[in-house]
Amino acid sequence: MRVLLTGGAGYIGSHIAVELLDSGYEVIIVDNYSNSHPGTIENIRKITGKELISYEVDVADAAGVGRIFRENTPDAVIHLAGYKAVGESVSEPLKYYKNNLYCTITLLEAMEKHGVKQLIFSSSATVYGEQDRLPYTEDMRHGVSTNPYGSTKQMIERIIMDAAGPGALSAVILRYFNPVGAHRSGLIGESPRGIPNNLMPYVTQVATGKLPELNVFGNDYPTKDGTGVRDYIHVVDLAKGHVSALKHTAAHPGVSVFNLGTGRGYSVLEIINAFERVNGVAVPYKIAPRRAGDLPECYADPSKASLLLGWKAELSLDDMCRDSYAYARTEL
């Protein structure tokens, strides 16, 4: 089976590519390298010992995407391509709406034209916004988005549901919680540009001396220690969830939605303490004011994925901390 993977050279995409190749799928990666590096393709080959096809194409480019479909006749698509920095989406909203929506519409048009009916979409827990109960379950309505990035995810989910129609698509929407960690090989991992938006890469840059200290945004939330609580999932577990979802699409027409998380929330201070303990390094931090739009607590109910996909997260918080630091040290 041949799978087209958009954004496949990125942090999550590269790990999905590895799991697909190791599971016997043929992989075609399309990426414009706006937030990734061409060298990642060779590292995927090194990890798996297998070949793959790659294109440097913007998924919003209809002609380029059409050529890829004509040359490769994919059986299924896993769609990750898009801008993803929450802060940047607030300062440059039109950039995010134009790119993320155009990429999806262009891709869906190409799929329709070439008769490709299996789709996995990389969504996000941000679509839930703030809910009145925990944990978050897939039957909850979209909440009020606090940023354009989250709004694009909500809109794309709606587009896919509308495009699926009766028998037009077999689609799985995967709502990620907080991916962290890296491949044990140390060859692929998260390499954000500039000061990171997410906690774990921020922690690793402080631990490796790239940044002097970590800002902990708020310590007065109604949580166990006053800091924000999130559901962190190892990126390798997340990638394996896509392989399980791909098998699901073959037998289930229409649109299915699944959370990919562990079902356990960890506070910012718990993450810092675990990271220091596992890696034997100090992570200096200071308390800073809350950030607008941050929720006190957010974690998944992953039971639907366990029941229907046969998937569950297996790697621990210690694994997440160890692998994140190991990869960060390869970049020194």
Tell me if 159 sits within 8 A of 151, measured CB to CB: no
In contact, 193 and 35? CB cutoff 8 Å? yes
Name which of 55, 168, 154 is nearest 118 in CA terms.
Answer: 168
For helices 317-330 and 199-207, what crossing angle results, to 10°? 50
DSSP lists the bridge partners of residue 332 as none
Look up tokens 């799985």; give the residue. Answer: 172
Residue linked to tokens 């607008």: 292
Tokens of 162: 């509308």
Please give the full DSSP string across 109-160, using - where no structure is assigned. Answer: HHHHHHT--EEEEEEEGGGG-S-SSSSB-TTSPP---SSHHHHHHHHHHHHH
Among residues 96, 128, 149, 266, the one annotated as catalytic is 149
Residue 97 annotated in active site: no
Contact present, 48 and 16 (Cβ < 8 Å) = no
Separation between Cα atoms, residue 90 and residue 149, nearest integer Å: 8
Instruction: Tell me how crowded residue 88 is: count the other CB atoms within 10 A of its CB.
Output: 17
What DSSP letter does each residue of 181-242 carry, written as one string? Answer: ---TTSSS----SSS-SSHHHHHHHHHTTSSS-EEEE-S-SSSSSSS-EE-EEEHHHHHHHH
Active site residues: 149
